[in-house]
Amino acid sequence: MLVPTLEIPHLCAQCHDAPCIPSCPVNALSWDQKTGAVLVDRETCTSCGICIEACPGRVPFLHPLDSKATICDLCQGDPQCAKVCQEARYNALWRAKRPESVSYRLYAKKPEDVVKELATRLYGEMGQELV
């Protein structure tokens, strides 16, 4: 979805119940108890895309090089994207402790919905015409 001036990163919300995991027919997805990330066993993944459909935010994608499901693994608990963002002084990404009382599934939105909401906030009613 292309909207002028809007570029939206689409990241895993790390849902507490991770609906992508049980959706995998070959058990290629698992939960890393230490980091809270969803891990993909690339050897087992059959590239069926069922995990994409099961994800409320449609975050997993099939990598263009090997067509295997790809989900951020949080760099084994040390997310490099946040590190680089801080070092560059953009201060847009931070590593924060995850409060247990929050349902992160609330943040799992389809990219087209996020763009639509942002376009409306930035451009008002005219923004909906852009989407």
CATH of the domain at 85: 3.30.70.20
CA atoms 33, 34, 40, 44: torsion sign: negative
pTM of the entire structure?
0.75
Assess if residue 110 is contained within a domain: no
Assess if residue 4 is contained within a domain: no
Assess if residue 120 is contained within a domain: no
What is the per-residue pLDDT for 20? 96
All residue ranges of the chain with pLDDT < 50 are none
What is the per-residue pLDDT for 99? 74
Assess if residue 75 is contained within a domain: yes
Assess if residue 3 is contained within a domain: no
Report yes or no: 29 and 69 within 8 Å, Cβ to Cβ. yes
What the block records as the tokens of 17 is 């119940």
Domain that holds residue 33: 20-96
Which residue from 11, 16, 52, 47 is spatially nearest to 31, judged by alpha carbons? 16
3-class secondary structure, 96: coil
The structural domain count of the chain equals 1
Q: What are the two backbone dihedrals, phi and then psi, of residue 22, each rounded to the nearest 5 degrees?
A: -70, -15
Assess if residue 128 is contained within a domain: no
Report yes or no: 47 and 67 within 8 Å, Cβ to Cβ. yes
